[in-house]
Amino acid sequence: MVNGYKPGSLQEALDIRSRTDAIPYAGGTDLMVRNQKGAVYLFLNDIEALKQITDDGDMIRIGAAVTFTRALENDLVPPLMKEALSQIAAPAIRNAGTFGGNLGNASDKADSVLAALALDGRVRLASAGGERTVRIEDFFVKRGETILRDDELIVEVLLPKSRCSLPFYYQKLGGRNALAISRVAFAGVYDVQDGVIRSISVAVIGEGKFTRYREAEAALIGRTAEEVKENAAACADSFIRNMTFTRGRVSAEYRRTVVRNLLTDYLTSLG
Amino acid sequence: MKEISRSIKKKDHDNKIEGRSVYVDDYPLTASGKRILCGKLIHAAYAKARVLSVTLPPLPEGYTYVDRNDVPGDNNVNIVLDDTPVFCRETVEYIGEPIGMLVGPEEAVVDELLAGVKVEYDQIEPMLDLRNGTEAFFDYHFGHGDVDRAFAEADKVYEEEFLTGYQDQTYLEPQGMMAEPEEDGRMFVHGSLQCPYYVHGAVARALGTGPEGVHILQDVTGGGFGGKEDFPSILGCQVAVAAHKTGQPVRCVYNRREDLEFTPKRHPSLCRYKLAVKDGRVTALEADVRFDAGAYSTLSAVVLQRGIIAAPGIYHIPNVRVTGKAIKTNTVPCGAYRGFGAPQTFFAIEMMMNHVAQDLGVDSITFKQQHFAKQGDMTSTQGRYHFPVPIPAMLDEVDALCALRRKHQAYSLPQTGRFRRGIGFSAIFHGAGFTGSGERDIIKATAKLRKYADGTVEVLASNGDIGQGVRTTFPKIVSHELNLPLEKVRYEHPDTARVPDSGPTVASRSLMTVGELLRRAAIRLRDIWQDGVEQEVEEHYKEPDFVIPFYLDRFEGDAYPTYAWSVSAVEVEVDTYTGRVQILGAYGSFDVGTPVDENIVLGQMEGGFLQGLGYASIEKMQYDEKGRIRNNSFTDYLVPTAMDVPKLIARLHVEEYPDGPYGAKGAGELPLVGPPPAYLEAVEMALGGMKRHRLNRIPYSAEDVILELNKEVP
């Protein structure tokens, strides 16, 4: 027996959210496993407003209840995001799992969150009283904790169009070829014009958090791809220095080595 | 291909595909309409501790607590020895050991009560480490030749250590058993199991009833792989005791976490091997084999026996000395898993031979080939390989499939770049049937055919279908001999009240041994067949005349009448940036004798191969410093998925065994045993071979690859 609310509109959902402790439920792929006794859920999968993928001119907007399968079928979703989504779990999970759920579950191994982070993504949150839009890295506090307030819901993920069509680098390492949590994942987006780096992003799974390395990234801007390539190991080091890897299913040394290798490969492949 | 090998639809195919098979957890009520009580176990929280007290929450009416004080007979479960308790004694010996059982009508209430149970312990320092363990349940020694002299006269002596880890069977259906007190006073126990008569003996003893006081039925069983060989005897006793106390049907089904954490797995091993080489040939082997038995001896005796008998692999080595110990540790008791001790020692000898060959500067395929045993040679236990050893021809077949020899040389050259390749191979046997004289002295199998007046025939035997297809292949043999349509011959799930003891469902003996009894019975029935009357024919096992009697006290004689053989090759590409190992191809030639159903056998070969690859690579299970197994979910214990199945080609090579039905030998274990050393040789080769990286343990993960590469001196 499962108890819950099944609102038909976002307004109704926010209203329920503001006055109850019901747990937001989109795809349920993590909540079903958790199977918390006596839980009351706020089912969001009937709300059309949360299931849209749109282009507002500046941003690709992906609703919180959009499933990974739907996103993979949609032409607006950028290639880096699709690459990440296509390696999440298995078809049955992708058919149910959502962008909002991947964020709200507050796992430090969320593959769609990593891709959004590398794309300078934002997340729009709403409550009955108002709304706010924050950067991905500011949304995520630590494993199991985000800034989402008790009265808020995740509405959509925003991906700047200026980043969406740029070349990218992505690699996920799980324990096997499917149904595998990322032990390490790496995502990067870069813009090189006339041999000069205009913008570059680096995002990794393996640190127990979602963060960007703004200083190290900024230090590369304006340099030539050729120069970075020649000094790839040193450039990689400027990122690695700021990273602290967690140990768990694999060791921190494994994570550090793989991220270093991939970073070096990434910096060698620019342009 | 023989007529008998032609593939047919399995008898249980439709029921399973359509979801109509009834597993033990599926019964809403008993067959007689009674409510089934739910039983759940209280598992010990410490690896070694004295249990001072168990304090229960107030139990509502209809809810009962059961422990060792409720066992009407003997609190010792009869397996090989009797050291495993039904419910724990004064101390618990591993995390998860059953202390007692809570029983009642509503599962949710039982769960709630379980959470309220308080157990007071006095902790004792546990012994967890296989290497340092000193208490051996079993300590075997055997050998032949003059080992000391061979080592003294050797040109070079090699010593190396090999390690293998746990492996869990991960059958689809977790362990589950149910007990029903019957009107006539008998206890009816049924569930997910492989060996009805093992459970029969154990339950009769726990209840103190004598054999006639109980009967055991195998329900539809969702896979076993050995994991349901001993454990159902323990769980069967627990539910039977609970049913005895309450007077009502009781069922206990493990959830996946309990199953992964607390039920038997493959023994972790530590093998120390020492080889003497003289004039380029191996002249002596000294093998010191240690298996981690866990807290109770369960099946470790027989697992260890099979393991150490295979210590020299398929190689003819004139001087051999083997020591085998099953070490007691305060961890979950290990038991049977497809291969039964042999994967551990074959891994050791195959890797050892590779490493010695590399040191001698010889290609390991050539080196191994120079040592292959052949027909007439002595086995490790001074028996004989009575029949042709088809390994050289099988090696050629695998070579033709994947250019093994050419790639083996090419990939041995130094490689640079991100992606590097390797190919490995192994050649192994599976000793067909039960080890030693067990078939003759202990099992003494009996199988029956009952012909009914309507002309249908029923097979009466005690071998359970666990996916390997005996419900299909037994009737296939009988219908073949009687020239009857297959629909007229049936084999139901065995109930010990109805079937004779044709032995356990283990060691790939069912088809080879019991199948042959049924073939002979069918021929006799054909000879005496009379229409319109009921007739019965019974056959008893008789050891073939050629067999050299086996003496377990000395490990002398034919440990097996014959052998199944396999050659496996695995080709990999290693990503040196990430450690990821991609399997480019997996190839095997398998001699199981005549396949009694080609599709079933090929399915076994492919499935076993994949389990072997999982064992070698991703199936990692460990306990922490307290002795608790951490990998107790499918998130943390990874087995290969459909996406991890490589290009896999399995071919059959038929070397018929005259005493098996139509020439059949054993098929079950064979495909799992060879792939692990082939896989690891391939990975080692990709990393630059032994000169740079000498690998000696499985599972070997992507992380292991990276950490190994980090050791590389630039």
> What SS3 string covers B66-101?
ECHHHCCCCCEECCCCCCEECCCCCEECCCCCEEEE
pLDDT band, residue B61 (cuts 50/70/90): very high
Kindly determine whether residue A173 and residue B577, on different chains, have CB atoms separated by under 8 Å: no
Distance from CA of B635 to the nearest CA of A (A): 8
B577 touches chain A (CB under 8 A): yes
Chain A residues near residue B572 by CB distance under 8 angstroms: none
The residue count for chain B:
714
Give the separation between CA B502 and CA B506, rounded to whole angstroms: 11
Nearest CA in chain A to B701: A175
Distance from CA of A178 to the nearest CA of B (A): 6
> Could you tell me the CA-to-CA distances from A123 to A63, A141, A150 in Å, in that order?
10, 14, 16
Which tokens sit at B613? 């690859």
Chain A residues near residue B578 by CB distance under 8 angstroms: 171, 173, 184, 258, 261-262
CATH topology of domain B17-124+188-254: Aldehyde Oxidoreductase; domain 3 (3.90.1170)
Instruction: Give A241-250 pLDDT, tens digit per residue.
Output: 999 999 999 9
pLDDT given at position A271: 77
Reduced to 3 states (helix: H, G, I; strand: E, B; else coil), residue A48 is: helix
Instruction: Give A48-86 pLDDT, tens digit per residue.
Output: 999 999 999 999 999 999 999 999 999 999 999 999 999
B579 touches chain A (CB under 8 A): yes
- Taking the model in full, what pTM does it have? 0.97
Distance from CA of A38 to the nearest CA of B (A): 12
Chain A residues near residue B256 by CB distance under 8 angstroms: none
Kind and range of the H or E run holding A24 = strand A23-25
CA B559 to chain centre: 18
Nearest CA in chain B to A179: B641
CATH topology of domain B438-540: Aldehyde Oxidoreductase; domain 4 (3.30.365)
Give the separation between CA A88 and CA A179, rounded to whole angstroms: 7
Out of B578, B644, B703, the one facing A177 most closely (by C-beta) is B644
B714 touches chain A (CB under 8 A): no
B578 touches chain A (CB under 8 A): yes
Give the separation between CA B702 and CA B708, rounded to whole angstroms: 10
- Which is it for strands B446-451 and B457-460: parallel, antiparallel or unpaired? antiparallel
Out of B579, B638, B641, the one facing A258 most closely (by C-beta) is B579
Kindly determine whether residue B643 and residue A178, on different chains, have CB atoms separated by under 8 Å: yes
Chain A residues near residue B417 by CB distance under 8 angstroms: none
Chain B residues near residue A258 by CB distance under 8 angstroms: 577-579, 706
pLDDT band, residue B712 (cuts 50/70/90): low
Give the separation between CA B483 and CA B522, rounded to whole angstroms: 10
- Which is it for strands A184-193 and B37-43: parallel, antiparallel or unpaired? unpaired
Give the separation between CA B513 and CA B541, rounded to whole angstroms: 8
pLDDT band, residue B339 (cuts 50/70/90): very high
Distance from CA of B618 to the nearest CA of A (A): 7
Kindly determine whether residue A249 and residue B579, on different chains, have CB atoms separated by under 8 Å: no
Instruction: Give B273-325 pLDDT, tens digit per residue.
Output: 999 999 999 999 999 999 999 999 999 999 999 999 999 999 999 999 999 99
Nearest CA in chain B to A184: B578
Q: Which of B606, B599, B615 is nearest to B678 (CA)?
A: B615
Chain B residues near residue A88 by CB distance under 8 angstroms: none
Kindly determine whether residue B641 and residue A178, on different chains, have CB atoms separated by under 8 Å: yes
For tokens 């120079």, the residue is B370
Nearest CA in chain B to A247: B703
**B269-434+560-710 and B438-540 in the same fold:** yes
Chain B residues near residue A250 by CB distance under 8 angstroms: 703
Kindly determine whether residue A181 and residue B706, on different chains, have CB atoms separated by under 8 Å: no
What are the residue boundaries of the structural domains of chain A, listed by start?
Answer: 47-163, 166-268
Kindly determine whether residue A258 and residue B710, on different chains, have CB atoms separated by under 8 Å: no
> What CATH number is given for A166-268 in this structure?
3.30.390.50
> Could you tell me the CA-to-CA distances from A224 to A198, A221, A268 in Å, in that order?
9, 8, 12
Sign of CA dihedral A85, A89, A91, A95: negative
Distance from CA of B703 to the nearest CA of A (A): 6
Q: Compute the average pLDDT of residues B392-401.
A: 98
Chain A residues near residue B577 by CB distance under 8 angstroms: 258, 261-262, 265
Chain A residues near residue B632 by CB distance under 8 angstroms: none
Chain B residues near residue A251 by CB distance under 8 angstroms: 703, 707
pLDDT above 90 covers a percentage of chain A that reads 96
pLDDT band, residue B330 (cuts 50/70/90): very high
DSSP string, B686-708: HTT-TTT----EES--HHHHHHH
Which tokens sit at B702? 């992507």
B554 touches chain A (CB under 8 A): no
Asked if the model's pLDDT at residue B352 lies above 80, the reply is yes
**Tell me, what DSSP letter sits at residue B643?**
G
Which tokens sit at B493? 């799930």
B641 touches chain A (CB under 8 A): yes
Kindly determine whether residue B643 and residue A176, on different chains, have CB atoms separated by under 8 Å: yes
pLDDT given at position B385: 98
B712 touches chain A (CB under 8 A): no
Q: Which of B710, B712, B677, B671 is nearest to B695 (CA)?
A: B677
Q: Which of B327, B269, B298, B333 is nearest to B95 (CA)?
A: B333
pLDDT band, residue B691 (cuts 50/70/90): confident
For chains A and B, what is the number of CB pairs under 8 angstroms?
Answer: 57
> Could you tell me the CA-to-CA distances from B324 to A180, A262, B83, B129 in Å, in that order?
38, 46, 20, 17
pLDDT band, residue B692 (cuts 50/70/90): confident
Kindly determine whether residue B578 and residue A262, on different chains, have CB atoms separated by under 8 Å: yes
Asked if the model's pLDDT at residue B641 lies above 60, the reply is yes
- Provide the strand spans (E) within B64-213: 64-66, 76-77, 84-85, 91-92, 98-104, 118-123, 136-144, 156-164, 176-181, 187-191
Asked if the model's pLDDT at residue A100 lies above 80, the reply is yes
Chain B residues near residue A265 by CB distance under 8 angstroms: 418, 577
Report the residue of A258, A262, A269 to disrupt the B interface, i.e. the one with the largest count of B CBs within 10 Å. Answer: A258
Within 10 Å of residue A174's Cβ, how many Cβ atoms? 23
How many secondary structure helices (H) and strands (E) does chain B include? 19, 26
Distance from CA of B256 to the nearest CA of A (A): 13
Asked if the model's pLDDT at residue B4 lies above 90, the reply is yes
Beta bridge partners of B120: B53
Kindly determine whether residue B643 and residue A257, on different chains, have CB atoms separated by under 8 Å: no
> What CATH number is given for A47-163 in this structure?
3.30.465.10
Report the residue of A254, A255, A262, A263 to disrupt the B interface, i.e. the one with the largest count of B CBs within 10 Å. Answer: A254
Reduced to 3 states (helix: H, G, I; strand: E, B; else coil), residue A189 is: strand
pLDDT band, residue A1 (cuts 50/70/90): low
Tell which B residues from 412 to 431 touch A, by Cβ distance under 8 Å: 418
pLDDT above 70 covers a percentage of chain B that reads 100
Kindly determine whether residue B641 and residue A90, on different chains, have CB atoms separated by under 8 Å: yes
The residue count for chain A:
271
Chain B residues near residue A249 by CB distance under 8 angstroms: 636
Q: Which of B219, B218, B208, B215 is nearest to B241 (CA)?
A: B208
Q: Which of B630, B559, B503, B479 is nearest to B311 (CA)?
A: B559
Kindly determine whether residue A262 and residue B418, on different chains, have CB atoms separated by under 8 Å: no
Give the separation between CA B148 and CA B619, rounded to whole angstroms: 39
Instruction: Give A189-245 pLDDT, tens digit per residue.
Output: 999 999 999 999 999 999 999 999 999 999 999 999 999 999 999 999 999 999 999
Distance from CA of B187 to the nearest CA of A (A): 35
Nearest CA in chain B to A171: B578
Chain B residues near residue A183 by CB distance under 8 angstroms: 703
Spatial CB neighbours of B183, under 8 Å, sequence gap ≥ 6: none
- Provide the strand spans (E) within B444-520: 446-451, 457-460, 489-490
Examine the predicted complex and report whether its ipTM is higher than 0.90: yes
Give the separation between CA B486 and CA B472, rounded to whole angstroms: 9
pLDDT band, residue A140 (cuts 50/70/90): very high
Q: Which chain A residues touch B if contact means CB-CB below 8 Å?
A: 90, 171, 173, 175-181, 183-184, 249-251, 253-254, 257-258, 261-262, 265
Report the residue of B106, B420, B577, B584 to disrupt the A interface, i.e. the one with the largest count of A CBs within 10 Å. Answer: B577
**Tell me, what DSSP letter sits at residue A84?**
H
Q: Compute the average pLDDT of residues B696-708.
A: 97
> What CATH number is given for B269-434+560-710 in this structure?
3.30.365.10
Distance from CA of A251 to the nearest CA of B (A): 8
Within 10 Å of residue B548's Cβ, how many Cβ atoms? 16
Kindly determine whether residue A175 and residue B644, on different chains, have CB atoms separated by under 8 Å: no
Instruction: Give B477-533 pLDDT, tens digit per residue.
Output: 999 999 999 999 999 999 999 999 999 999 999 999 999 999 999 999 999 999 999
What are the residue boundaries of the structural domains of chain B, listed by start?
Answer: 17-124+188-254, 269-434+560-710, 438-540
